[in-house]
Amino acid sequence: MSALSELYKEIANCHQCELARQRTKVVPGEGAEDAAIAFIGEAPGWHEDQQGRPFVGPAGQFLDELLASIGLRRQQVYICNVLKCRPPGNRDPLPTEIKTCQQWLDRQLQLLHPKIIVTLGRYSMARFFPGETISKIHGRARKDGGLVYFAMYHPAAALHQQKLRETIQADMLKIPTLLAEVRGVPETKAADKPQQLSLL
């Protein structure tokens, strides 16, 4: 069993905050264990809580579309959330919940060591871009310690707002170039042929 699967077992046994009592299933995350890109959302919603998988509801369908726009499938990347359990009624995560759950995300990222961390929404952004606002930094990358951090709006926020939808679509199209850069591939090649993007 991989170290990540072992970690999932630990996460499933976590009862360190109230959310554990109300969850149907814990949602640790899923995707390629050698993924170059990790997408980090906010918290499981109703669909995710039912299935134990991240981004499987309407926001997840849009995320799948966004991935497809750069030639990727969800199995080729890693997808998880700041919180591993659903806040009741999809309310915003509480600071104490974020703090308690942080250990799991930290350990996931240590095991995965992705090249690019894409934050989806402001809670995930706050973890990696403290003090920033999403309207200011979305679509912009920060390089730090060999890692690239890239902030995007949350796909759910873009579902009913056409303008945000276009913004998030445009931001997603910047990722192949970032990936090419972290891999040292000539930029134009990757940007011209996103459908041939390889994550191996």
Residues at the contact surface with ligand URA, assessed by CB under 6 A: 41-45, 48, 54-55, 57, 59-60, 81, 156
Please list, in sequence order, all residues whose beta carbon lies within 8 angstroms of the beta carbon of residue 78, skipping any fewer than 6 positions away.
Answer: 29, 30, 31, 32, 33, 35, 37, 38, 39, 112, 114
Q: Which is nearer to ligand URA, 45 or 114 (CB)?
A: 45
Contact, 131 vs 48, CB < 8 A? no
Q: Which is nearer to ligand URA, 74 or 190 (CB)?
A: 74
Write down the least CB distance from residue 61 to ligand URA, Å.
11
| Nearest-angstrom CA–CA distance, 122 and 64 | 20
Q: Which is nearer to ligand URA, 169 or 177 (CB)?
A: 169
Contact, 104 vs 84, CB < 8 A? yes
Q: Which is nearer to ligand URA, 52 or 71 (CB)?
A: 52
Contact, 177 vs 197, CB < 8 A? no
